Each structure stands twice: as C-alpha cells, then as structure tokens.
Amino acid sequence: MRLILLIVLLHLSTIVIAQDDLFGPSENKTSRHGFMLNGNGSIDIPGADMAARFSNSFRLGPALLYKTTSNWLFGAKFDFIFGKNVKEDSLMINIRDKYTTYSQNLYEFINNDGQRIGVPVYQRGYAVGLSAGRIFSKSKSHPDNGIMVLTSVGFMQHRINIFDKDKSVMQLRGQYLKGYDRLSNGLFVEQYVGYAYFSSNKLVNFTVGADIMAGFTQGRRDYLYDVMRPDNAKRLDILFGVRAGWFIPMFKRNSEDMLFE
C-alpha cells in the first residue's frame, strides 16, 4: 500500500513539474535572438534652423534590426519626413503680385492662362542610416522587455516641395523650380530612448519613447531666384520627436521552446 501511494505521489509530482514548465517555469528565461522588422512613426517639433523653415512634421518608415541573446541591437532604418507648413516668408517673393495671398502651405499666382490659382507647398525629406543599441531588462521572467536605447547615424535630406500639379506657372517649371526649393542635406545623429515590449506569443510587440535627431546639413542650390543669392549655408536641423513602433519578430526558437511545444 505504501509502495502504491509512493508511486502515485511521484507521478503527481511529475505532472505538476511538467505543467509548470509548459505554462511558464519559475527559473530565469533566456532572451530570444533574431531579426526584427520594425515600422516606426513619430510626431516631431523642429528646433534650430529647422524651426525657422518648417513647423511640426511627421516621420514614417521601416527599420530592420538584429537582436542578440544579450539584448544588443544592430540594424538599419529609413524615415520619410513630411509636413505641410512652411515658414519661408521670402519664398517665391519675386514672382508674386501685389494681390497675391499666401499662407503656410498655399500661394496664389497668375498662371499662363491669366487665371489666379493656388499652388500648395509642403515639407518633404528622408533620413537613412545605421543603428546600434541595447535593451536594458530588469525582468528575469521577461528578459526581452525593458528600456531600449538606440543610436542612429546616417544621411538626411529635406526640401520645400512646390506642387504646381498642372505646371501652369511658367516660373515653376523644370530647372527653375530648383531655384526655390531650398534643398539641404548632410549627416545626422539620432538618439532614441523608450520602452520595448515583446509578448510571449509574438503577437504584441511594440516600443514607445522619445528621440532627438540632429542634422548637420548644408544648402545645395547654386542660386535662389527669389532672394538672389547662392544657398550654401551650413545648417543645424533638429527634430524632437515622440515615437512609436511595431515589431514583427523573427526570433530563433530556443531548445526548451521546441521541447515543450
């Protein structure tokens, strides 16, 4: 009888241990590793020279990161920069007439047919670079989650997009347009700090935080028609952003995951 009772107790203890391993062991888990496809979006407030030319803007784009088992991150990113409010008061001043009205994103002109039309202007640009950083985790049961610090360096470019859709203003056609668009580009450095979360089932994976991008750019047009001078001044273009991103992880499975799957 005692032998039967002992066998039953041993069997029950084996079932309990197996269930504990299956639904979440109490011992430390191993951080997962592999590639992550990341979609990012941010709302930016401009600073320094960027604030003198543009208002608030947005960034949207993908990133590809590789995460190691020690939570180091390496990868590349691309951001599309766009906004609708332009602050250049002198923009196209040489081709406006005294009846012209304009706002931060719409200018009126007399077109080739003698009609008054509205020409919208926008902020457009992009940033492409390499990234490196780390996730600092304090959770032994969820080692993938924690404070995410990511530094990126690369190339950025921005300009004023003058959108004369029908090309009905003679002065804004072809090469003439380059004399107004304020094209600028150069190197950038970006620092992001936020929280990264990865669910156990890989369905909910995101990051939310703040970043700052500093662009060391320069005007790239030989001559600006409206202000009658070259555009080669060096600039400091800063963007203060609140960013959110969604991860699609492609982590390699650990041996214990395959054992209890």
Q: What is the mean pLDDT of the chain?
A: 86
- Cα separation, 168 vs 242, whole angstroms: 39
Q: pLDDT at residue 253 above 70?
A: no
Number of Cβ within a 10 Å radius of residue 257: 14
**Backbone CA torsion sign across 5, 8, 12, 14:** positive
Task: Say if residue 72's pLDDT is above 60.
Answer: yes
Query: What is residue 9's predicted lDDT score, i.e. its pLDDT?
Result: 39
- Exposed/middle/buried for 177, CB within 10 Å: 0-12, 13-18, 19+? middle
**Which amino acid would we find at residue 40?**
N
Residue 217 structure tokens: 């750019």
How sure is the predictor about 223, in pLDDT bands with cuts at 50, 70 and 90?
A: very high
- The 10s digit of each residue's pLDDT in 75-128 is 999 999 999 999 988 899 888 877 777 776 888 888 888 888 889 999 999 999
If phi > 0 it is left, if psi is from -120 to 50 it is alpha, else beta; for residue 228 that is left
What is the pTM assigned to this prediction? Answer: 0.82
Question: What integer pLDDT is reported at residue 254 of this predicted model?
Answer: 57
Percent of the chain surpassing pLDDT 70: 85
Eight-state DSSP code of residue 87: -
Q: Has residue 146 got a pLDDT over 70?
A: yes
Architecture of domain 32-85+123-259: Beta Barrel (2.40)
